[in-house]
Amino acid sequence: MKKIETIIRPSVFADVRQALALEGIDGLTVTEIAGIGKQEGRTGLFRGNAYTMEFSPKIKLEMVVDDSKVEDIVQALLEYAATGEVGDGKIFILPVEEAIRIRTKERGAVAVG
């Protein structure tokens, strides 16, 4: 099993979610985050005062999947999360040694399905 963590723009979340559903991903963790990277901060006005937002709002998705699904999910993320601009995000793939469903005590892939 692998854990896939991806950081994407909020504007592409709906399309990414739909693409993941087509890949059979029906469970994932979604977190609203903010980060700093190569994408420059945004400048705006609030009550007549200029301000700079250093942090860019992002969405972090986390899912644990069978090894056989990893490449299809990565390809879906690359297709639907990309805008071609700096700040499109990142994908991280980590090994998962074990998964346990607390309610039923099931272990392994059945615990995340």
Q: Interior CA angle at 24 toward 84 and 13, to 5°? A: 35
* Res 102 pLDDT > 80: yes
More confident residue, 52 or 11: 11
- Contact in structure between 69 and 24 (CB atoms under 8 Å): yes
* Res 44 pLDDT > 80: no
Q: Which two tokens stand for residue 75?
A: 């390809």
10 Å Cβ neighbour count for 1? 18
Q: Tell me the whole-structure pTM to 2 decimals.
A: 0.85
The pLDDT tens digits of the residues spanning 56-73 come to 899 999 999 999 999 999
More confident residue, 32 or 39: 32
State mean pLDDT over 81-109: 96
Binned at pLDDT 50, 70 and 90, residue 74 comes out as: very high
Nearest to 72 by CA among 110, 9, 31, 21: 21
The b/e string for 87-102 (b: 16+ C-beta within 10 A; e otherwise) is eebeeeeeeeeebeee
Nearest to 36 by CA among 64, 13, 7: 7
Rounded Cα gap, residues 91 and 62, in angstroms: 10
Domains assigned to the chain: 2-112 (3.30.70.120)
